Amino acid sequence: MTDELLAKLVDRVLDFALEIGPTDCLYIEAKDIAPEATAAFVEGAKKRGATAIADNESSLSNSEIARRLTKEQAEIMASRKLKKAQASTVVLVLDGTPVALESDLPSDKLSLLLKVRAPFSSFVSKNRKWTRLRWPNPSMAQQANQEWDAFVDSWAQACLFDWSSVASETERLRQIIEDANQVRIVGENTDLAFSIAGIPACLCCGRENIPGGEVFTAPVKKSVNGEVFFNVPSSHASTIFGRVSLCFKDGKVVSSQAETNDNKLKRLLATDKGASFLGEFALGLNPKITAPLFDTHFDEKIAGSFHLALGRAYDCADNGNRSQLHWDLVSIQRRDFPGTIYLDNQVLRKDGLFADDTFRVLNASSA
């Protein structure tokens, strides 16, 4: 990564996403990040008058620790991580975790890892200004079948998209979704209907998550009925799941199938009572992301896509579902993957194109 690109990212994160000021204390959780990159964010915070501390973690070391992790050790780790968040005013997560590093961990160890992070994540999302930047690494480029330089260029364009230039369009779309009552999604092996009545809609456009580019709400918990097919392979806990199909009755998954790792899919659905219910419905809006990188934090932002999350709802769009799990499953709807989303029986988007021309700047460029 060039010094020029790194400087642009530091400015975007500290000034736009976090709006760092002289009274702030920034906590940086860096995972598999080059020390000089972490240092650039620390120095950037100091130049703005803030204080900053950073933890540099290795997911390889964390994976080995997880293999021997006990419940008591997980509770101690969770407490220590939470205290660091509590001592800060803003939090930045730089996540360069390689793809599939933890894929062979036993399910009980994966569950303990979720418990280590859950108190930290819950506290930060409710009480601190925060952002998470997915950092590029060679395994992501390999997974996307791209040369490294081309991958970094695509990554940078997605992360640095100017969301202020489309602020009025994204806000109007958010309001339309918030005012709607019923959603129906139709496409390949998909006919799913649910209510969103009374659930707020929220924007994620380059502040809490980078890259940004989604508008999201949540289904009324027990209103979901029908079937849905996700044509983008999905990752969770560094396991790649082949294209997933789910069938819902009164909000709950009653049958499921994944082309790969089907057994792990079923174990995830049994994580807890909330894991088999939905906690999010969202539309992908980033015009610089038009093809899967097989990394959820990018793929959920694909222009012309939608995603549904199994498990925990977000506080700003809360349908009451509680779970350790929050897993986004993505499906593309474009001319090459036809599909339509209806709001209150009116077409909102068809084959990646919004019916209202007001939103043309948010359309999938390849639609």
Span 99-112, pLDDT tens digits: 655 456 677 777 77
Residue 101: per-residue pLDDT: 53
- Predicted confidence (pLDDT) at residue 367 exceeds the cutoff of 50: no
Task: Report d(CA 227, CA 287) in Å as an integer.
Answer: 28
Residue 100: per-residue pLDDT: 59
Structure tokens at 22: 């002289």
3-class DSSP state for residue 318? coil
Pairing of strands 25-31, 90-95: parallel
Residue keyed to tokens 């997880």: 66
Q: Are residues 126 and 201 in the same domain?
A: no
On whether residue 31 sits in a domain, the answer given is yes
Q: Are residues 42 and 130 in the same domain?
A: yes
Task: Report d(CA 293, CA 67) in Å as an integer.
Answer: 28
Q: Which of 31-45, 108-122, 151-165, 339-353 has the lowest mean pLDDT?
A: 108-122
Q: Categorize the per-residue pLDDT at 212 as very low, low, confident or very high, splitting at 50, 70 and 90.
A: very high
Show which of 84, 119, 135 is a domain's final residue: 135
Q: Are residues 229 and 354 in the same domain?
A: yes
Residue 118: per-residue pLDDT: 81
Task: Report d(CA 3, CA 314) in Å as an integer.
Answer: 35
pLDDT averaged over the chain?
91
Q: Categorize the per-residue pLDDT at 16 as very low, low, confident or very high, splitting at 50, 70 and 90.
A: very high
Q: Are residues 96 and 228 in the same domain?
A: no
Q: Can you give the pTM of this predicted structure?
A: 0.86
Q: Are residues 79 and 220 in the same domain?
A: no
**What is the spatial order of strands in the sheet that 182-187 belongs to?**
252-258, 244-249, 225-230, 190-195, 182-187, 339-343, 346-350, 353-354
Task: Report d(CA 316, CA 300) in Å as an integer.
Answer: 18
Residue 1: per-residue pLDDT: 83
Q: Are residues 217 and 340 in the same domain?
A: yes
Helix boundaries (H) for the chain: 3-11, 35-47, 59-67, 71-86, 107-127, 138-143, 148-159, 167-179, 262-269, 296-299
- Do 214 and 283 meet the contact criterion of CB atoms below 8 Å apart? yes
The pLDDT tens digits of the residues spanning 268-321 come to 999 899 999 999 999 999 999 988 888 888 999 999 999 999 999 998 999 999
Q: Categorize the per-residue pLDDT at 365 as very low, low, confident or very high, splitting at 50, 70 and 90.
A: low
Task: Report d(CA 174, CA 273) in Å as an integer.
Answer: 30
- Summarize the confidence of residues 132-138 as an average pLDDT: 92
On whether residue 148 sits in a domain, the answer given is no
Q: Are residues 127 and 193 in the same domain?
A: no
On whether residue 203 sits in a domain, the answer given is yes
The pLDDT tens digits of the residues spanning 157-183 come to 999 999 999 999 999 999 999 999 999
Q: Which long-range CB contacts under 8 A does 43-47 form with residues at least 24 apart?
A: 44/10, 44/11, 44/14, 44/20, 45/14, 45/20
- Residue 91 sits in a domain whose CATH number is 3.40.1830.10
On whether residue 190 sits in a domain, the answer given is yes
Q: Categorize the per-residue pLDDT at 44 as very low, low, confident or very high, splitting at 50, 70 and 90.
A: very high
Q: Are residues 118 and 207 in the same domain?
A: no
Q: Are residues 209 and 338 in the same domain?
A: yes
On whether residue 277 sits in a domain, the answer given is yes
Residue 102: per-residue pLDDT: 47
- Do 44 and 12 meet the contact criterion of CB atoms below 8 Å apart? no
Show which of 113, 135, 157 is a domain's final residue: 135
On whether residue 125 sits in a domain, the answer given is yes
Q: Are residues 100 and 243 in the same domain?
A: no
Q: Categorize the per-residue pLDDT at 57 as very low, low, confident or very high, splitting at 50, 70 and 90.
A: confident
- Summarize the confidence of residues 67-75 as an average pLDDT: 86
Backbone angles phi, psi at 163, to 5 degrees: -70, -20
Q: Are residues 235 and 127 in the same domain?
A: no
- Predicted confidence (pLDDT) at residue 50 exceeds the cutoff of 90: yes
Q: Categorize the per-residue pLDDT at 231 as very low, low, confident or very high, splitting at 50, 70 and 90.
A: very high
On whether residue 147 sits in a domain, the answer given is no
Task: Report d(CA 191, CA 170) in Å as an integer.
Answer: 26
Q: Are residues 131 and 180 in the same domain?
A: no
| Residue 23 neighbours by CB distance under 10 Å | 9
Pairing of strands 346-350, 234-236: unpaired
Nearest to 173, CA basis, from 364, 354, 314, 303:
354
Residue 366: per-residue pLDDT: 39
Residue 19: per-residue pLDDT: 96
Task: Report d(CA 85, CA 42) in Å as an integer.
Answer: 16
On whether residue 141 sits in a domain, the answer given is no
Residue 156: per-residue pLDDT: 94
| Residue 87 neighbours by CB distance under 10 Å | 10
Q: Which domain holds residue 116?
A: 3-135
The pLDDT tens digits of the residues spanning 316-359 come to 999 999 998 999 999 999 988 999 999 999 999 999 999 999 89
- Do 47 and 10 meet the contact criterion of CB atoms below 8 Å apart? no
- Predicted confidence (pLDDT) at residue 184 exceeds the cutoff of 80: yes
Q: Let me know the angle formed at the C-alpha of 100 by 99 and 102, rounded to the nearest 5 degrees.
A: 125
- Summarize the confidence of residues 81-108 as an average pLDDT: 82
Q: Count of domains in the chain?
A: 2
